[in-house]
Amino acid sequence: MTDDVFLFNVYRSFVAIRMDIRFLASIELLQLIQRNFNNSRLNSHFIDDCNKSETLWQTEWEYLSLSNEVSTAIDIEKNFVVLFSRVLSEIIRLLHDKNFDYAYDIIDMFHCLPESLARREKVNIVNFIFTRGEYLGEKWGTAFVDELYSMLSINWFSRKWLRLKIMRSRINHSASKSV
């Protein structure tokens, strides 16, 4: 369980990091997000952690909602928490290794997911990972994307089936536009 304000702050943090991938406090901010996300903590705990950080206070971070806004609890599936934690770990590792382009692409892939969850939009995590993971796999190799697929129990056959389903959907969509 978490709350919508925390998820919006995760979204805002991803957008800020994406805008400046070499952002001074990116790694610490992502570690705070990961710790709070893994422990199902609320935004007030996240803000308390941010307030204790010397590094974050040396940067401009007005994009975060620092007040204890009225928030609504959101129950998030456990497999999503595990998957998102793995994504955060990978971004942190890439930033430590100064592989900024790859970290940028992963943040770009996932930045809108917390916002969608905060808005209570129905998100099919398998389709989300599959549609965005194809680009990531083509550009950077498939090791990380394959790990995400295996975490979601998407085997080779399922990936091929999903690819065909998405292609058919795109064809039908473009055909309906031309009518």
Residue 54 predicted with pLDDT over 60 = yes
Give Cα separations from 122 to 51, 107, 108, 179 (angstroms).
33, 21, 20, 29
Neighbours of 171 (CB within 10 A): 10
CA-CA distance, 111 to 12, in Å (whole number)?
8
Assign 2 to helix, strand or coil.
strand
pTM of the predicted structure, to 2 decimals: 0.77
Q: Are 123 and 79 in contact (CB under 8 A)?
A: no
CA-CA distance, 135 to 121, in Å (whole number)?
23
pLDDT in tens, 67-78: 556 566 666 777
Q: Locate the domains of the chain by residue range.
A: 1-123, 124-179
pLDDT in tens, 102-134: 999 999 999 888 888 888 788 777 778 877 887
